[in-house]
Amino acid sequence: MATGDSDFTGTVLGILMITFGISPTVLFLLGLTARASFISNFGVVLDQSFVSMPIVQLIVSITGLFLAGMGVLTIKYGRSEIDTPGLY
């Protein structure tokens, strides 16, 4: 693997982490919470799904923010800073 490949891979991975991390938070903040009809389209058929609970969506949002933060660190440092021999 060339030297530039590691930086490119780290950047792409970081962008994906930020995208997947921020999207549930943005949806939660905009009030676009999962409704029972929306959930049933994905095969989850429950009278009261835990996914529609605000506390669950808040936890998913906080976890997503953590993932987005890790994405920023991945873009900033990438894999090129790892000096452990034999790790890759």
- 10-34 burial, b at 16+ Cβ within 10 Å, e below that, comes to beebbeebbeebbebbebbeeeeeb
Q: What domain range includes position 17?
A: 3-39+48-77
Q: How many domains does the chain have?
A: 1
Q: Would you say residue 82 lies in a domain? A: no
Each residue's pLDDT tens digit, 28-87: 777 766 555 555 555 555 555 566 677 777 888 889 899 999 888 888 877 655 566 665
pTM for this prediction: 0.63
Q: Would you say residue 14 lies in a domain? A: yes
Residue 66: the pLDDT is 93
Q: Which two tokens stand for residue 60?
A: 């998913």
Rg (CA), the chain: 18
Q: Would you say residue 83 lies in a domain? A: no
The one-letter amino acid code at 43 reads: G
Q: Would you say residue 88 lies in a domain? A: no
**Is residue 66 within 8 Å of 21, Cβ to Cβ?**
yes
Residue 6: the pLDDT is 63
